[in-house]
């Protein structure tokens, strides 16, 4: 369990619990709406909230050993979330990666290194769970995300291209 | 925001006796006169010419000496040519008055009109330049390339949100003042009126809850200027068509990508936690500045009646305010302003831009900062205060033309104080220079009319 208190910045980062689910779902939906801005193939579906709940339940309950879910909290409210999944990497070394799939910080709390703290803490936790490499998934056109990760030392490794049929 | 001059009885040719013409009559007249005069401004010589030999110094070979001097020191172009008093009025036709995106050629009559006002009220030679592109990068590139010709740039009728980035980038990269009138002109006039309205109601800017309704170029620029002038960010509440702007609004991420200024304001303003729409925002608010869409009926009396005591309301939409002044009065608003000349307290950018450029040009200014705009607003406010503030007189009228040299001098002095001037004079000298240039400009028009060089308005066919 991690408990990082950073009172000076007015937030703390901790592992998510089941009680956080409702607030996490809201942040995931905001993230997906943001993704929608980058590509029509990322159009958010009508039942996206069901999917968000499903993801949460899986990450916090049914398959929690394969996930790391951290939240940033400010005065009892969740202002940021990071969800990462441990995945096997057939054919390649290292064999296990920790993949950041959902990562969102509320607008008001950006530019305070909160995102950076979340990624670092999540990376530590993923390493403890066996990840030999940390990956992050985000829309190709999201330049803000790409420059954010590059600043933290990440580089583009694989790309996924798409085309409507 | 569109420029609403509505000068009464222009040249004594009121088209219908006893009343002001309605919009359609203005349209008819404007078309008729445009056809008759085919252009509103022209270039005239300002040096004596007695024969063709004179061109040996006005032009080749003599002019080469002047060029050589300037090539050694580019700033000499402000002393040895007309650059010091010439600006470009640049538009891309993407947001012309209330007409929307109508393109460069169609924007030309508006830019010409603007140039005319620049000359008449500010003595500024303004060259209308509609652009053949609406691409932000190309606009910036083009305007930057115009720098050697001009002492300043007035951007006009460029749509939001691209106008914000264009202005900011040009301001930081050019060595002459760049001004976007739809932003700064309107914001400056609103600030001037607000300064006096706060005085009359015994308020301090920093303690005042201000609701800005409408989030186009005018109001976002007003928000920026109010902040620079000392308003409390947390007590500013912006309201747009989607309701109250706040840091957690659903569309904040979309704004981050498409409208960075609004996103920024969304994060920083409204710390008092207002949620909902304009109705909720107005509960207990001190000031409403509306620059949204033409009314009446856009703002309801019931909403205004929920504002704080001695409330201040500027309903600035043109050609009709969001709510009529008498409705505001009935709703309990104490100080009321609109964008119209036929109601008291006309908040009009025409009070600002001719004087700001007069002062900027007389000081050979490098850039017009927010402090300069604030200085202009304060001088406008002071002028009205000296005449005697009343609830129905918080800002000078356009007829009080002595205000222009006053504001010009305040602007020029502020430019000097900020270290942005190429030419340092005292405030008194700046005032005298501005007054001389503006008087001369009006005198030339009067004399040209007397002499028949400017023809009288055509009568009915």
- Give the mean model confidence (pLDDT) for residues B421-447: 96
B8 band by pLDDT with thresholds 50, 70 and 90: very low
**Between chains, do B250 and A33 touch, taking CB under 8 Å as contact?**
yes
pLDDT in tens, B248-296: 999 999 999 999 999 999 999 999 999 999 999 999 999 999 999 998 9
Q: How far is B389 from chain A (nearest CA, A)?
A: 41
Provide DSSP, A12-44: EEEE--GGGHHHHHHHHHHHHHHHHTT-GGGPP
**For residue A83, pLDDT beyond 60:** yes
Res B321: pLDDT: 95
Do residue A37 and residue B250 have CB atoms under 8 angstroms apart? no
* Cβ pair B247:A37 closer than 8 A: no
| pLDDT of B3 | 42
Q: Work out the average pLDDT over B382-404.
A: 96
The Cα of B173 is separated from the nearest Cα of chain A by a number of Å equal to: 24
B64/B156 Cα distance (integer angstroms): 35
The encoded tokens of residue B352 equal 């600002």
Question: Do residue A107 and residue B256 have CB atoms under 8 angstroms apart?
Answer: yes
Judging contacts by C-beta atoms under 8 Å, the chain A residues touching residue B258 are 37
**A128 three-class SS:** helix
Percent of chain A with pLDDT over 90: 91
- Is the model more confident about B221 or about B2? B221
Read off φ and ψ for residue A103, nearest 5 degrees. Answer: -150, 120
Q: Which of B233, B245, B252, B258 to mutate to test the interface with A (most CBs of A within 10 A)?
A: B252
Active site residue B114: yes
Mutation target to probe the B interface, by most B beta carbons within 10 A, among A108, A141, A145 is A108
Residue B407: the pLDDT is: 98
A44-62 confidence digits (pLDDT tens): 999 999 999 999 999 999 9
In the sheet that B335-338 helps form, which strands lie side by side, from edge to edge? Answer: B243-244, B236-240, B210-213, B287-290, B312-315, B335-338
Q: Which residues from chain B sit within 8 angstroms of residue A33, using beta carbons?
A: 250, 253-254
pLDDT in tens, A121-145: 999 999 999 999 999 999 999 999 9
* pLDDT on residue B14: 38
pLDDT of residue B2 exceeding 80, the answer is no
Residue of chain B whose alpha carbon sits nearest to that of A107: B247
Higher pLDDT, A75 or B57: B57
pLDDT for the residue B20: 54
Q: What percent of chain B has pLDDT over 70?
A: 95
Q: Which of B27, B59, B258, B387 is catalytic?
A: B59
The reported pLDDT for the residue numbered B245 is 98
Distance, CA of B172 to CA of B158 (rounded, Å): 18
Cα dihedral across residues B28, B29, B35, B39: positive or negative: negative
Buried b (16+ CB within 10 A) or exposed e, A110-145: beeebbebbbebbbebbeeeebebbbbebbeebeeb
Using only C-alpha atoms, chain B has a radius of gyration, in whole angstroms, of 22
Q: Is A43 on the interface with B (CB under 8 A)?
A: no
Judge whether B108 and B130 are in contact, CB under 8 Å: yes
Q: Which of B253, B263, B267 sits opposite A33 (nearest CB)?
A: B253
Please provide residue A94's backbone torsions phi and psi, each rounded to the nearest 5 degrees: -60, 160
B252 and A33 in contact by Cβ < 8 A? Answer: no
pLDDT at residue B99 tops 90: no
pLDDT of residue B4: 43
Contact A107 B250 (CB under 8 A): no
CA B359 centroid distance within chain: 14
Give the integer Cα–Cα distance in Å for A46 and A28: 14
Q: Does A22 touch chain B (CB under 8 A)?
A: no
Q: How many Å lie between the alpha carbon of B409 and the closest alpha carbon of chain A?
A: 41
| Helix, strand, coil in percent for chain B, rounding step 5 | 50, 10, 40
Distance from CA of B104 to the nearest CA of A (A): 31
CB-facing half-sphere around the CA of B446: CA atoms within 13 A: 6
- Supply the mean pLDDT for chain B: 93
Task: Supply the pTM of this predicted model.
Answer: 0.89
Would you list the DSSP string of B345-414?
SB--GGGTHHHHHHHHHHTT-S---HHHHHHHHHHHHHHHHHH--BTTBSS--TT-TTHHHHHHHHHHHH
pLDDT in tens, A6-58: 445 678 999 999 999 999 999 999 999 999 999 999 999 999 999 999 999 99
B-side interface with A, Cβ within 8 Å? 247-248, 250, 252-254, 256-258, 263, 266-267
Virtual CA dihedral for B450, B453, B458, B461, nearest 10 degrees? 120
In angstroms, the separation between the Cα of residue A33 and the nearest Cα of chain B is: 8
A37 close to B (CB below 8 A): yes
């Amino acid at each position: 369990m991690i408990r990082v208190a950073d009172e000076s910045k007015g937030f703390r980062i901790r592992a998510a619990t089941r009680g956080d689910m409702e607030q996490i779902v809201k942040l995931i939906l905001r993230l997906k709406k943001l993704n929608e801005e980058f590509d029509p193939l990322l159009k958010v579906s009508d039942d996206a909230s069901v999917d968000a709940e499903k993801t949460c339940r899986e990450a916090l309950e049914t398959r929690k050993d394969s996930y790391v879910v951290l939240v940033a909290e400010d005065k009892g409210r969740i202002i940021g979330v990071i969800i990462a999944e441990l995945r096997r990497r057939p054919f390649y070394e290292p064999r296990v990666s920790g993949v950041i799939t959902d990562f969102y910080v509320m607008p008001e709390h950006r530019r305070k290194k909160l995102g950076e703290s979340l990624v670092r803490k999540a990376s530590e936790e993923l390493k403890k769970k066996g990840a030999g490499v940390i990956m992050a998934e985000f829309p190709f056109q999201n330049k803000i995300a790409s420059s954010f990760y590059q600043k933290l030392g990440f580089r583009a490794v694989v790309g996924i291209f798409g085309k409507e049929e | 925001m569109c420029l609403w001059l509505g000068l009464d009885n222009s040249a004594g040719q009121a088209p219908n006796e006893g009343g002001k013409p309605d919009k359609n009559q203005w349209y008819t007249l404007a078309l008729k006169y445009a056809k008759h005069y085919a252009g509103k401004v022209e270039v005239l010589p300002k040096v004596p010419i007695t024969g063709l030999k004179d061109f040996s110094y006005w032009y080749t070979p003599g002019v080469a000496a002047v060029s050589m001097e300037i090539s050694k020191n580019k700033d000499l172009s402000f002393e040895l040519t007309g650059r010091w008093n010439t600006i470009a009025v640049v538009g891309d036709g993407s947001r012309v008055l209330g007409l929307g995106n109508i393109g460069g050629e169609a924007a030309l009559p508006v830019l010409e009109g603007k140039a005319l006002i620049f000359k008449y009220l500010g003595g500024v030679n303004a060259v209308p330049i509609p652009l053949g592109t609406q691409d932000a990068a190309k606009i910036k590139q083009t305007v930057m390339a115009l720098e050697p010709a001009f002492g300043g740039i007035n951007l006009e009728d460029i749509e939001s949100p691209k106008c914000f980035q264009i202005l900011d980038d040009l301001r930081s990269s050019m060595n002459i003042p760049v001004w976007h009138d739809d932003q700064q002109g309107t914001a400056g006039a609103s600030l001037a009126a607000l300064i006096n309205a706060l005085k009359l109601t015994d308020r301090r800017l920093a303690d005042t809850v201000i609701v800005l309704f409408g989030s186009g170029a005018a109001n976002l620029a007003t928000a920026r200027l109010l902040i620079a002038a000392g308003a409390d960010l947390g007590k500013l509440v912006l309201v747009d068509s989607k309701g109250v702007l706040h840091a957690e609004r659903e569309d904040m991420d979309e704004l981050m990508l498409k409208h960075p200024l609004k996103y920024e304001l969304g994060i920083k303003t409204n710390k008092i936690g207002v949620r909902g729409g304009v109705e909720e925002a107005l509960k207990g608010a001190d000031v409403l500045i509306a620059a949204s869409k033409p009314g009446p009926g856009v703002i309801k009396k019931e909403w205004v009646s929920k504002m704080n005591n001695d409330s201040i309301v500027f309903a600035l939409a043109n050609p009709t305010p969001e709510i009529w002044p008498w409705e505001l009065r009935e709703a309990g608003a104490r100080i009321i302003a609109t964008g119209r000349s036929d109601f008291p307290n006309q908040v009009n950018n025409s009070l600002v831009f001719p004087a700001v450029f007069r002062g900027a040009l007389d000081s050979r200014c490098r850039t017009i900062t927010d402090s300069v705009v604030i200085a202009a607003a304060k001088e406008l406010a002071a002028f009205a205060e000296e005449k005697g503030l009343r609830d129905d007189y918080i800002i000078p009228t356009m007829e009080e033309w002595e205000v222009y040299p006053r504001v010009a001098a305040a602007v020029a002095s502020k430019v000097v104080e900020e270290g942005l001037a190429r030419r340092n004079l005292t405030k008194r000298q700046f005032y005298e220079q501005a007054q001389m240039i503006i008087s001369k400009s009006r005198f030339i028009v009067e004399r040209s009319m007397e002499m028949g060089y400017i023809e009288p308005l055509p009568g009915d066919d």
